[in-house]
Amino acid sequence: METDSERDSELLKIRAHHLCCIQGFQGYGYSPAFVANMRAVISDLESLPSRPLKLVTECDAICVSCPSKRECTIQESILSRRIRQMDLVVLDKLKIEDGSVINADEAFGLINSRINSSSDVEEVCGTCKWRQKCLWYMQAGK
């Protein structure tokens, strides 16, 4: 039988809006370290599609290599509020609470079935600087 601590060690903490970013990633990023980390996270999810994810509105496994991480961890910053709002929009559209645990394949299925109109995508992505380089945005946002 699996204990809570064993299950927690398998959990990958992912910001809700990063479910979109992961699908649209083409190798662009804030820095070489960020790109390498993003590729590692994506590779991990591809090798274990049923991996449990903890969907959050705070720094996650992708943010750890982001040069803006320090600013994002300051809850009062404009950037932090804007990014958290993206997470909250995704969670609302998926009808999932912050901190919920869901398997990766199920999470991606929900994203693609519930956030699929151009208005949904605009609501999530807003002014994201990566929109024009994001495959998910370009395909879903038309």
pLDDT of 38-89, one tens digit each?
Answer: 999 999 999 999 999 999 999 899 988 877 766 666 667 777 788 899 999 9
Average pLDDT over residues 20-26: 92
Residue 118 has pLDDT above 80, yes or no: yes
pLDDT band at 107 (very low <50, low <70, confident <90, very high): very high
pLDDT at position 73 is 64
Q: What is the DSSP letter of 82?
A: H
3-state secondary structure of 36: helix
d(CA 34, CA 1): 36
Q: How many residues does the chain have?
A: 142
The amino acid at 60:
D
Sequence ranges of the domains in the chain: 4-140
Mean of the per-residue pLDDT values of the chain: 86
Residue type, 131: R
**How much is the pLDDT for 3?**
41
